[in-house]
Amino acid sequence: MNYQAYIEQSLQSFVPAKSKWNYEDGCALQGAAYLYEVTGDSRYKDFILSYLRDFVSPEGEIRGFRIDEYNIDSIHPGRLLLLAVDWEPSDPRFAKALEQVRAQLDTHPRTEEGNFWHKKIYPWQVWLDGLYMAQPFYARYDTIYGGMSHYQDIVSQFQNVRKRLFVEEKQLYIHAYDEQRAQPWADPVTGHSPNFWLRAIGWFLVAIVDTYAEISETIFEAKEAFVPLMDEAVRGLMPYMHPDKFMFYDLVDLPELEGNYLETSGSAMVAFALLKASRLGMIDKEVCDPIGRKILQAVHDQRLIQEDGSWKLTGMVEVSGLGPGDKRDGSVEYYLSEPVVADDHKGMGAFMMAWSELLRLGGDEVKR
């Protein structure tokens, strides 16, 4: 089975992206977590616990994690700690580490409207990526341990993003927003970055559906606030899908731009979001479930290749960002200058996540 062979190969040969706590690895681990949830295959659970034991000392110290950096990306792997606390209640390291990650949110700097800064080195900035990095963790922790007392904060941060980053003319979310309009890339009127980056939009869609899933049904108003956000975002994005190849361009609204390309990781994120939101009843399942399946099938058929006896998932942009300072100016030239690679952990994780949803929905049509 092509898919299973790729995942098994990827987990067996997995090398952490960095020597310190990082979100890139967290994306792959989250994919493994969803696959464990749906299949019960202990190899996924063992992979996650082995990784966490390597990065969290017996005393509960997280390698390379520093609250004072106020890096919103560092929150993301905390989702795996929430699982580990449940899986290994007799090992105190995970609960101690979990509280360190959660403590960051108590003092993390915010915009005037109340959204978490993307990072201390990116002051007053809200990036779509950051909603995925923090909010599903924040919501799950609050549901389990926080008495659901922070739901309004969570909902407000999404609603602020809708107000500040959604561009009506395009019906798309821009990559980032600078509240102070101080960054070289920021529009002096709107604070917007210049372009619509696929993976950021993909992360935002995943943030919406994953956070929705973590909000208790007992707080109806908070949970239902995510439904119109998802519906609008999906309706806005779908016209930009390639009509024949069923994927999306790295710069979503510029299909004719020379050098622009159909990007794997963001397309896989969109597939996951459509499939999960369909399953949870957030969007029209009859319409969106088949589209999600088509996108995942396209990623599988067009990007999963065998080379020299090994499987590779190709066509992923390695990274894209804005700043700091004059670096990474948000231009089309900048986005298209970033390396396109294979088997990046972010894309690998998104592919695993999308596959897990197809399995939950009772389908495995992706060719083996």
Q: Would you state the structure tokens that stand for residue 92, as one six-digit string? A: 């105190």
Which percentage of the chain shows pLDDT scores above 90? Answer: 95
Q: Would you state the structure tokens that stand for residue 108, as one six-digit string? A: 């993390």
Question: Could you read off the pLDDT of 183-202 as tens digits, one per residue?
Answer: 999 999 999 999 999 999 99
Burial class (CB in 10 A: 0-12, 13-18, 19+), 208: buried
Alpha-carbon span 292 to 272, nearest angstrom = 7
Categorize the per-residue pLDDT at 366 as very low, low, confident or very high, splitting at 50, 70 and 90: very low
Closest of 192, 175, 184 to residue 250, by C-alpha = 175
CATH number of 2-11+19-360: 1.50.10.10
Question: Could you read off the pLDDT of 22-75 as tens digits, one per residue?
Answer: 999 999 999 999 999 999 999 999 999 999 999 999 999 999 999 999 999 999
Residue 247 confidence (pLDDT) above 60 = yes
Strand, coil or helix: what is 182? coil
Alpha-carbon span 61 to 64, nearest angstrom = 9
**Cα–chain center distance at 156:** 19
Range list of β-strands (E), the chain: 125-127, 166-167, 172-173, 176-178, 304-307, 310-313, 316-317, 340-341
The rounded mean pLDDT for the chain is 97
At residue 8, the pLDDT reads 93
Phi, psi (degrees; rounded to nearest 5) at 138: -55, -45
At residue 363, the pLDDT reads 61
Ramachandran class of 142: left when φ > 0, alpha when ψ lies in -120 to 50, beta otherwise = alpha
At residue 364, the pLDDT reads 54
Q: Would you state the structure tokens that stand for residue 40, as one six-digit string? A: 């019960």
At residue 158, the pLDDT reads 99
Q: Is the Cβ–Cβ distance between 44 and 35 less than 8 Å?
A: yes
At residue 368, the pLDDT reads 33
Mean pLDDT of 326-355: 97
Give the chain's count of helices (H) and strands (E): 14, 8
Residue 367 confidence (pLDDT) above 60 = no
Residue 325 confidence (pLDDT) above 90 = no
Output the CA torsion sign for 318, 323, 328, 329. positive
Question: Could you read off the pLDDT of 140-177 as tens digits, one per residue?
Answer: 999 999 999 999 999 999 999 999 999 999 999 999 99
Strand, coil or helix: what is 242? coil
Domain ranges for the chain? 2-11+19-360
Burial class (CB in 10 A: 0-12, 13-18, 19+), 199: buried
Q: Is the Cβ–Cβ distance between 128 and 165 less than 8 Å?
A: yes
Residue 352 confidence (pLDDT) above 80 = yes
At residue 146, the pLDDT reads 97
Helix 151-165 vs helix 198-214: crossing angle, to nearest 10? 150
CA atoms within 13 A on the CB side of 27: 27
